[in-house]
Amino acid sequence: MNDNICIKNVTVSFTAKAGIVQAVNHIDAIFNSGEITGIIGETGSGKSVLGLSVLRLLAENSRVTGNIIYQDRDILQLPAQELNQLRGKTIAFIPQNTDTAFNPVMTVGRQIGEGAAYHHNIPQAAARRQAIEQLRRYAFQEPQTVAARYPFQLSGGMRQRALCAMSTALSPKWLIADEPTKGLDAIIRRQVFQLFHDLKASAGISVMLITHDLRLAEKLCDAIFVLYAGTVLEQGTAGEIFAGPLHPYTRGLINAQPHKTLTPLPGMPPSLIDLPAGCKFQPRCSCRKSICRLQEPPLQAINGRRQVRCWQYA
Ligand SMILES: Nc1ncnc2c1ncn2[C@@H]1O[C@H](COP(=O)(O)OP(=O)(O)OP(=O)(O)O)[C@@H](O)[C@H]1O
Ligand code: NI
């Protein structure tokens, strides 16, 4: 039995007023245990939806097909009770918005202790002591003081760290983190980088890292999946992807960064209600050939782990 998370032919659609939103389209992806795997892509490319689908945290109007295999079981088929055991205890999720992740009227320490109290049935006082230890681990100099505070009394960076402390309080095997550096300044981003680095190195936690922060992804991740309109356009090791992106979209994402050429990708992502024919990126692609409009290219292995979905390489 391995600890990888295997996503097999997963499709997620939402029923909306305007029609069926095809947010994730036939994604196959293996997230290797012991590694940090980055999911990158423009806004609306399906990163959060993919992450949420792993713990079945999607909204009511969603429909998910395919398999998400973890420890020889399909998470999508787990009965509610086993799913609850998995959530938080084995696979933890850090949502995109740290403001809503906390209960605003409960102290930070109490919230960190709650999970332990619930899953391990331990008394309040002991849970509180554990919470303080957990905060100390996350580099809080005065964990007692922080534990007594309410979420709004913490700065953005502290809240992010407190959220990591809460999410990993039950020593999960996996952490799915959605935009953990969003809205944080450079110094705090470095702290978050260090935090994730230590999670993997010291705590042995495997991570699925959803991010717009390509520099963070490059430094932190072992592997990368590049998403566009709910489809994987390229995947590989972080070294491969950042040193030599193959897909025009990946090249565009990398070049759009402030420390690169700051050239934005031309055009807009497609409507997920009415996806373009052929390659989903073709309407915006400078390398487009006539076949690109007609047929979607397969995701093809180039060498090793590397795969790209583009007719240039087919
Ligand atoms: N409950 C829902 N009903 C309808 N559409 C939804 C729902 N949840 C998500 N979507 C749509 O699914 C698509 C993918 O959303 P997702 O949040 O995964 O994007 P993302 O890549 O995480 O973007 P961002 O970088 O902005 O966080 C978007 O078009 C979004 O509007
Ligand atoms: Ni998102």
pLDDT digit string (tens) for 268-309?
999 999 999 999 999 999 999 999 999 999 999 998 789 999
Q: What is the pTM of this model?
A: 0.93
| Residue in 11, 12, 21, 216 to alter for ligand 1 test, most ligand atoms within 8 A of Cβ | 21
In degrees and rounded to multiples of 5, residue 52 shows phi and psi of -65, -35
Here the tokens at position 265 are 């990708």
Ligand 1 centroid to 75 CA: how many Å?
A: 21
Answer whether residue 191 shows pLDDT above 90.
no
Query: What is the residue-wise DSSP string for 182-234?
Result: TT--HHHHHHHHHHHHHHHHTT--EEEEE-S-HHHHHHH-SEEEEEETTEEEE
CB 261 within 8 A of CB 255: yes
Ligand 1 within 6 A of 59 CB? yes
In-domain check, residue 226: yes
Answer whether residue 118 shows pLDDT above 90.
no
Q: Which atom of ligand 1 is nearest to the CA of 16?
A: 4
Q: Do the strands 206-210 and 36-40 form a parallel or antiparallel pair, or are they unpaired?
A: parallel
Band the pLDDT of 242: cuts 50, 70, 90: very high
For position 274, what pLDDT does the model report?
96
Walk across the sheet containing 300-301 and list its strands: 91-94, 174-178, 206-210, 36-40, 223-228, 231-237, 307-308, 300-301
In-domain check, residue 255: yes
Helix segments in the chain, DSSP class H: 47-54, 80-86, 98-101, 108-120, 124-137, 143-147, 156-167, 186-201, 214-220, 238-243, 248-255, 290-294
In-domain check, residue 107: no
Q: For CA atoms 207, 91, 130, 140, give the dihedral sign.
A: positive
In-domain check, residue 256: yes
258 vs 178, higher pLDDT = 178
For position 168, what pLDDT does the model report?
86
In-domain check, residue 76: yes
In-domain check, residue 162: no
Nearest to 42 by CA among 246, 251, 213, 228: 228
In-domain check, residue 137: no
Overall domain count for the chain: 1
Q: What is the CATH number of the domain that holds 258?
A: 3.40.50.300
Full residue range of the structural domain in which residue 63 is found: 5-90+213-313
pLDDT digits (tens, 9 = 90+) for 136-180: 877 778 999 999 999 999 988 788 888 888 888 888 999 999 998
Ligand 1 within 6 A of 48 CB? yes
In-domain check, residue 170: no
